[in-house]
Amino acid sequence: MLRTPSTLLAASSEALEEVRAQRPLVHCITNAVTVNFVANTLLAVGASPAMVDVPGEAGPMAEVASAVLINIGTPAADQRVAMLEAAEACARTGRPWVLDPVAVGVLPVRTALARRLLELRPTVIRGNASEIRALAGAGAGGRGVDAAEGAEEALEAARSLAHTSGAVVAISGAVDVVTDGRDVVRIANGSALLTRITGGGCALGGMVSAFAGCHADTLEAVVAACASYAIAAELAAARAGGPGTFAVSLLDALAALTPEQVAAAGSIS
Amino acid sequence: MLRTPSTLLAASSEALEEVRAQRPLVHCITNAVTVNFVANTLLAVGASPAMVDVPGEAGPMAEVASAVLINIGTPAADQRVAMLEAAEACARTGRPWVLDPVAVGVLPVRTALARRLLELRPTVIRGNASEIRALAGAGAGGRGVDAAEGAEEALEAARSLAHTSGAVVAISGAVDVVTDGRDVVRIANGSALLTRITGGGCALGGMVSAFAGCHADTLEAVVAACASYAIAAELAAARAGGPGTFAVSLLDALAALTPEQVAAAGSIS
Amino acid sequence: MLRTPSTLLAASSEALEEVRAQRPLVHCITNAVTVNFVANTLLAVGASPAMVDVPGEAGPMAEVASAVLINIGTPAADQRVAMLEAAEACARTGRPWVLDPVAVGVLPVRTALARRLLELRPTVIRGNASEIRALAGAGAGGRGVDAAEGAEEALEAARSLAHTSGAVVAISGAVDVVTDGRDVVRIANGSALLTRITGGGCALGGMVSAFAGCHADTLEAVVAACASYAIAAELAAARAGGPGTFAVSLLDALAALTPEQVAAAGSIS
């Protein structure tokens, strides 16, 4: 299939419509810092979040979900068990799932966890440049949750990670880069305020899960999620007086975002 | 005692005054997703929240609290121990406590937990229609935290649950329904935006706890909490540009809500 | 060194500039209720938060952080292990760390934990009057997280705690009081709305950590953090319609706060 910016914009617009129509049930096992914001982001865009991270419940929940998000930001012992349970359920049933490898490569517990999760073949991997490079084995992982590098610098790592893992890989940055190992798509929307709130990346992980739970073509789903989120961020930034009002406005903007706005404002190449 | 809409409105207004005057200490053991919003809701309405969920502390905390909230939304192993500890302290000392059985019937760990908690005889049970039906043994529990059914469809289950458990049962929905097994009260205030934020129900569980910790008549306390919360939601919705600003405005509206507004705007039948 | 209100104001202004320039990496092990707000506060003021509370990761994280915050508000078993791990890493490497002894003296698990942490010699202790008195062995600890007493009533306890622990002690209240056991500084800025949101104190603990991670003189760093936070609270309160909008505006105000505003609006004696 030939992908052009205009077919990708049309697909993005369509994918947002699908999220609104299907209201996908997104099972999230995510960090304690931003779990509230991830849930509110999913509700705002029209999905139905279920934050279930207890062993014995994570597997059954994953089996009925449209998609699963696994974010390793605060990997408590029981949550690690739940993550593996959910990822195994996805691997068994073919459900799409998204790995958000927060601070992988920097800290030992999550690094070991991320490697085990990678073996269960996530459908999508979304991280910043440092995380993608660390997961691909090409870098040390930055100094924490911050992106120390630009997305472009991680492109080769992302391509290689896509090849070895079979996942679509999304690198978040001033320009988001998405690749399935072959095609490379860049989304130039967004706002620097996303780096001034906690959960700016985690919430995008939620968005990607929701879109992957609705739209059949995974690369298109990831591009659609990144574009919708980044366009909403632009709209929110225009109304914000700082990071506090920005986070609040972002939820309003996601709820009000129309497929037409995505088609009109998306900057995809 | 004869309950009429006007005596219930007067009691609701009075109960809000009591919360403001007594500033009840509300001990919450609640889910990680919405714990911040529940605490902020309690502070906004004039109560004093204490979020204590560690075994060895939950019992002592419950013994000095005005009321206790137990919300099983993310039932980690240690939290389950703390919940039973607190519920037992309430049963022993006669303190009012509220059970919020999030997603009971859908997932196994919390379903078993809810049954054990039910044996300790909560003062109030607050849930959506699916949860109330599941807890009463009459339904399968919906697909997660969402209400798949209207409150009226769960009325018979609520009545039966009130009889067997001795609790006042509140079913949240577009119209809230509250019953002690005999009387049935409907509160027709509220906003659809409550379903577009996470914690819309959890925060009401906190409100119900605060009111039950102040007002002697439990049915009246629950009606007062539901009415105050739903009226504040109406006021907040009128100022909101979407779910983000709605959640923020709801806290402002709760802080500013007057007993007179409750008496004037309450739609109780 | 002679400290006067005007040298302290100048130092406060300078310390805020240092936070902006150095973007300190602040490792937080903090309670589940307000962890999101603490992270957003740190991002707003210009620091880089890392919320890492898993045993095996807390020590390594502390070793690369500019400063560490340990807040005992929801001390789950694994978090307690992580707190000791991080505090030991700080003791070993000489890194500044801040103890926020939430509800110490009221509840048994955290009280025992706080005593162990105290032996590891925090650089700063920040609490309300009840907490400082309880930690100094002079009081019963209030009824929960609320300050039952004014800061002045805890001054002797704070002085004694500073002497025995070697820490700079900050008592939060309508007027904040900071002492190293010898000098006593009062900061008369702030807003009563800080007591109507959850995390008003926790976020200040984060601020204190960020400033202590940049500014060499600890007493000055603590005064600077308290003054910057309280001035931002005044600015936010002027724009707020209640506690919901206040919390949001506080983040905006912290992001926009200039060293000049601190120098001009600070009320230090």
pLDDT in tens, A130-160: 999 999 996 655 554 445 568 888 999 999 9
Q: Nearest-CA residue of chain C relative to B57?
A: C107
Per DSSP, helices labelled H in chain A are 5-22, 35-45, 58-64, 77-93, 108-119, 129-135, 155-165, 200-212, 218-239, 243-256, 259-265
Q: Which pLDDT score, from 0 to 100, does residue B182 have?
A: 95
**Lowest model confidence (mean pLDDT) among A27-31, C126-130, C147-151, C206-210:** C147-151
- The more confidently predicted of residues C149 and B21 is B21
Q: Which pLDDT score, from 0 to 100, does residue C241 have?
A: 97
Average pLDDT over residues A210-230: 97
Average pLDDT over residues C31-47: 98
Average pLDDT over residues C163-192: 96
Among C39, C43, C54, select the one facing A76 at the smallest CB separation.
C54
Would you call C204 an interface residue with chain A, using a CB distance cutoff of 8 Å? no
Interface with A, mutate which of C22, C193, C252 (most A CBs under 10 A)? C252
Asked whether the beta carbons of residue A74 and residue C61 sit closer than 8 angstroms, the reply is no
Q: Which residues of chain B have pLDDT under 70?
A: 1, 138-149
- Is residue A189 within 8 Å of A227, Cβ to Cβ? yes
When the pLDDT of each residue in chain C is averaged and rounded to a whole number, the result is 95
Q: Tell whether C189 is covered by a domain.
A: yes
Distance, CA of B193 to CA of B205 (rounded, Å)? 17
Q: Which three-class secondary structure state does DSSP give residue A33?
A: coil
- The more confidently predicted of residues A139 and A94 is A94
Confidence check: pLDDT of A190 > 70: yes
Average pLDDT over residues C195-220: 97
Q: Which pLDDT score, from 0 to 100, does residue C50 have?
A: 98
Per-residue b/e over A162-174, b at no fewer than 16 CB within 10 Å?
A: beebebbbbbbbe
Among C35, C247, C255, select the one facing A33 at the smallest CB separation.
C35
Phi/psi-derived region of residue B56, left when phi > 0, alpha when psi is between -120 and 50, beta in every other case: left
Per DSSP, helices labelled H in A105-242 are 108-119, 129-135, 155-165, 200-212, 218-239
pLDDT in tens, C108-126: 999 999 999 999 999 999 9
Q: Which pLDDT score, from 0 to 100, does residue A150 have?
A: 80
Q: What is the DSSP letter of A175?
A: S
CATH number of the domain enclosing A182: 3.40.1190.20
Q: Which pLDDT score, from 0 to 100, does residue B148 have?
A: 53
Query: How close, in Å, is residue C22 to chain A by CA atoms?
Result: 14
Confidence check: pLDDT of C130 > 60: yes
Query: Which residues 69-128 of A have a C-beta within 8 angstroms of B?
Result: 76, 78
Query: Which residues 233-262 of B have a C-beta within 8 angstroms of A?
Result: 240-245, 247-248
- Which residues are within 8 A (CB) of B81 and not within 5 positions of it... i.e. 6 or more apart? B55, B58
In three-state form (DSSP H/G/I as H, E/B as E, the rest C), the secondary structure along chain B is CCCCHHHHHHHHHHHHHHHHHHCCEEEEECCCCCHHHHHHHHHHHCCEEEECCCCCCHHHHHHHCCEEEEECCCCCHHHHHHHHHHHHHHHHHCCCEEEECCCCCCCHHHHHHHHHHHHCCCCEEEEEHHHHHHHCCCCCCCCCCCCCCCHHHHHHHHHHHHHHHCCEEEEECCCEEEECCCCEEEECCCCHHHHHCCCHHHHHHHHHHHHHCCCCCHHHHHHHHHHHHHHHHHHHHHHCCCHHHHHHHHHHHHHHCCHHHHHHHCCEC
Average pLDDT over residues A218-231: 98
Q: Which pLDDT score, from 0 to 100, does residue C268 have?
A: 86
Q: Which pLDDT score, from 0 to 100, does residue C1 have?
A: 63
DSSP symbols for chain C: ----HHHHHHHHHHHHHHHHHH--EEEEE--TTTHHHHHHHHHHHT-EEEE--STTTHHHHHHH-SEEEEE-SS--HHHHHHHHHHHHHHHHHT--EEEE-TTTTTSHHHHHHHHHHHHT--SEEEEEHHHHHHHTTSS--TTSSS--S-TGGGHHHHHHHHHHH--EEEEESSSEEEESSS-EEEE----GGGGGSTTHHHHHHHHHHHHHTT-SSHHHHHHHHHHHHHHHHHHHHHH-SSHHHHHHHHHHHHHH--HHHHHHH--B-
Q: Report if pTM > 0.90.
A: yes
Distance, CA of C3 to CA of B211 (rounded, Å)? 50
Query: How close, in Å, is residue B181 to chain C by CA atoms?
Result: 35
pLDDT in tens, A233-258: 999 999 999 999 999 999 999 999 99
Instruction: Give the domain extent around A110.
Output: 5-265
Query: How close, in Å, is residue A199 to chain B by CA atoms?
Result: 13
Q: Which pLDDT score, from 0 to 100, does residue B266 have?
A: 81
When the pLDDT of each residue in chain A is averaged and rounded to a whole number, the result is 94
Q: Which pLDDT score, from 0 to 100, does residue C151 have?
A: 82
Confidence check: pLDDT of C146 > 70: no
In three-state form (DSSP H/G/I as H, E/B as E, the rest C), the secondary structure along B169-230 is EEEECCCEEEECCCCEEEECCCCHHHHHCCCHHHHHHHHHHHHHCCCCCHHHHHHHHHHHHH
- Based on the structure, what is the number of domains in chain B? 1
Q: Nearest-CA residue of chain C relative to B82?
A: C76
CB contacts of C128 in chain B (<8 Å) are none
Q: Nearest-CA residue of chain C relative to B252?
A: C242
Binned at pLDDT 50, 70 and 90, residue A265 comes out as confident
Distance, CA of A127 to CA of A202 (rounded, Å)? 9
pLDDT in tens, A101-129: 999 999 999 999 999 999 999 999 999 99
Among B37, B76, B143, select the one facing A54 at the smallest CB separation.
B76
Distance, CA of A77 to CA of A101 (rounded, Å)? 16
